[in-house]
Structure 1
Amino acid sequence: MLKINKYAAIDIGSNAIRLLIATVIEKEGYAPQFKKTSLVRLPIRLGADVFLEGKISDVNYERMKDAMKAYSLIMKNHKIKKYRACATSAMREAENGIQVAKKLFDATGIDIQIIDGNDEAAIIATTDLNHLIQDNKVFLYVDVGGGSTEFTVFANGNTITSRSFKLGTVRIINDMVKESIWNDVKSWIVENTKDYDKIEVIGSGGNINSIYRFSEKKVGKPLSYFFLANFYEEVKSLTYHERIFEMQMNPDRADVIVPATRIYLSAMKWSKAKNIYVPKIGLADGIVKSLYNEQKARDLLVK
Structure 2
Amino acid sequence: MKFAAIDVGSNAVRLLLSKVDTEGIEPIYEKISQIRMPIRLGDDAFVHGHISDEKVRQLVKTMIAFKHLMDAYEPIDFMACATSAMREAENSEKIVRKIKEESGIDLKVISGRREAKIIYSNRIEKIIANGDPSSYLHVDVGGGSTEIIVFNREKVLAYRSFNIGAIRMLEGFVSKDEWNGMKKWVQSVTKEYKPASAIGSGGNINKVFVMANVKEGTPLSYEELKRVYKFLKGYTLEQRITKLGLRPDRADVIIPASKIYFSVMKWGHIDQMHVPRLGLADGIIHVLYQKHKEKYI
> In the alignment, what sits opposite 1:7?
3
8 A Cα contact 1:135 1:157, kept in partner: no
Deviation track 1:115-154 (CA, whole Å, cap 9, x = no partner) reads: 0000000000010311224433221100000000000001
Residue 26 of structure 1: aligned partner? 22
The letter of the residue matching 1:120 is E
Stretch deviating more after TM superposition (248-257 or 209-218): 209-218
Q: Give the residue type in structure 2 aligned to 1:63.
A: Q
How far did 1:297 drift?
Answer: 3.9
Q: Larger deviation: 138-147 or 229-238? A: 229-238
Go from structure 1 to structure 2 and tell me whether the alpha carbon gap of 1:156 and 1:20 turns closer, same or farther (over 3 Å shift): closer
- Structure 2 letter corresponding to 1:111: D
Partner of 1:124: 119
Q: Deviations over 1:55-99 (max 9, x none)?
A: 111000100111011101111111111110000011111101011
Is 1:38 the counterpart of 2:46? The answer is no
In the alignment, is the contact (CA less than 8 A) between 1:199 and 1:272 conserved in 2? Answer: no
4+ runs deviating over 3 angstroms: 297-300
The corresponding residue for 2:213 is: 216
Matched, 1:207 2:204: yes
Contact 1:22 1:36 in 2 (8 A): yes
* 1:120/1:197 CA distance change after superposition, 3 Å: closer
CA distance in 2, matches of 1:99, 1:211: 36
What letter corresponds to residue 226 of structure 2 in structure 1?
A: A
Report SS of the residue matched to 1:185: helix
Alignment partner, residue 188 of structure 2? 191
Q: Matched residues, percent identical?
A: 43
Partner of 2:192: helix, strand, or coil?
Answer: coil
Secondary structure of the residue aligned to 1:131 is: helix
Aligned to 2:72: 77
What amino acid does structure 1 have at the position aligned with 2:216?
V
Q: Tell me if structure 1 keeps the 8 A contact 2:19–2:30.
A: yes
Q: Give the Cα–Cα distance (whole angstroms) in 2 for the partners of residues 158 and 103 of structure 1.
A: 38
What's the secondary structure of 1:11's corresponding residue? strand
Residue 98 of structure 1, aligned match among 93, 97, 103: 93
Counterpart-to-counterpart distance in 2, 1:178 and 1:75: 41
Structure 2 equivalent of residue 62 of structure 1: 57
Alpha-carbon distance in structure 1 between the residues aligned to 2:183 and 2:144: 18
Runs of 5+ unmatched residues, structure 1:
none
Number of the residue aligned with 1:52: 47
Tell me the CA shift for residue 216 of structure 1: 2.2
Cα pair 1:16 1:44 within 8 Å, conserved: yes
Counterpart code for 1:138: S
Q: Does the aligned pair in 2 maintain the 1:13–1:146 contact within 8 Å? A: yes
Q: Could you tell me the TM-score, scaled by structure 1's length?
A: 0.94
CA contact (8 A) 1:137 1:157 kept: no
Which 5+ residue runs of structure 2 have no aligned equivalent?
Answer: none
RMSD of aligned C-alpha atoms?
A: 1.3
Residue pair 2:99, 2:105 contacting (<8 A) in 1 also: yes
Q: Secondary structure at the match of 1:135?
A: coil
Q: In 1, Cα distance between the equivalents of 2:195 and 2:99?
A: 47
By how many angstroms is 1:239 displaced?
Answer: 0.5
CA offset at residue 197 of structure 1? 4.7
Mapped to 2, the partners of 1:72 and 1:88 lie a distance apart of 19
Aligned residue in 2 for 1:281: 278
Return the offset for 1:198: 5.4
> May I ask how many residue pairs the two structures share in their alignment?
295
After the TM superposition, which residues 121-270 of structure 1 pair with which residues of structure 2 at under 5 Å, given as runs?
A: 121-129=116-124, 130-133=126-129, 134-155=131-152, 157-197=154-194, 199-270=196-267
Give the letter aligned to residue 163 of structure 1.
R
Q: Which amino acid aligns with 1:281?
A: L
CA contact (8 A) 1:117 1:164 kept: yes
Of 153-162 and 17-26, more deviation after overlay is shown by: 153-162
Structure 2: how far apart are the matches of 1:293 and 1:157? 17
1:109 shift after superposition: 0.6
CA distance in 1, matches of 2:174, 2:186: 18
Whether contact under 8 Å (1:223, 1:276) holds in the other structure is yes
Equivalent pair of 2:211/2:228 in contact (CA under 8 Å):
no
How far residue 194 of structure 1 moved from its aligned partner, in angstroms, is: 0.5
User: TM-score, normalization: structure 2?
Assistant: 0.96
Which among 281, 285, 289 is matched to residue 292 of structure 1? 289
